[in-house]
């Protein structure tokens, strides 16, 4: 079946612009996660949605970052007033509530000039 999909695959933007990154999780997966991986750095947790519960936003680096998940499915990560340090690969993952395995998408490579 279809895996986690993310769009766009690549995004180049200018410093100060807002960007939106989209994640389509696997159908039936109630948990959705956002991570990012900066060049040469490890993977960093950003935010986690589980069903109708309040999201775990503990990993968001600043108030310029926000995310929403509409209808318990698609999620959008928004970065306002982008900075060069926001350049990274942004990864989305989804999971069935009762299982351990997170399924990752291919990521969106964001470059802020």
Partner 1 sequence: DAKTTQPNSMESNEEEPVHLPCNHSTISGTDYIHWYRQLPSQGPEYVIHGLTSNVNNRMASLAIAEDRKSSTLILHRATLRDAAVYYCILRANLGGKLIFGQGTELSVKP
The binding site for partner 1 (CB under 8 A) comprises 4, 31, 33, 35, 42-45, 48, 50, 56, 59, 91, 93, 95, 97-107
Could you say which DSSP state residue 9 is in?
S
Radius of gyration of the chain (CA): 13
Q: Quick one: 81 or 99, whose CB is closer to partner 1?
A: 99
Q: Quick one: 3 or 16, whose CB is closer to partner 1?
A: 3
Q: Quick one: 6 or 82, whose CB is closer to partner 1?
A: 6
Side-chain-side CA neighbours of residue 1 (13 Å): 7
**CA trace torsion 9, 14, 15, 17 (10° rounding):** -80
Compute the least distance from the CB of residue 42 to partner 1, in Å.
5
């Amino acid at each position: 079946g279809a895996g986690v999909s993310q769009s766009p695959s690549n995004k180049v933007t200018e410093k100060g612009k807002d960007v939106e990154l989209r994640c389509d999780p696997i159908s039936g997966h109630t948990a959705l996660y956002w991570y990012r991986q900066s060049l040469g750095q490890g993977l960093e947790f950003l935010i986690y949605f589980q069903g109708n519960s309040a999201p775990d936003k503990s990993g968001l680096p600043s108030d310029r970052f926000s995310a929403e998940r509409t209808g318990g499915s698609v999620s959008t990560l928004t970065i306002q007033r982008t900075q060069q340090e926001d350049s990274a690969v942004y990864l989305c993952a989804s999971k069935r509530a009762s299982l351990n395995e997170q399924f990752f998408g291919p990521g969106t490579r964001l470059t802020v000039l």
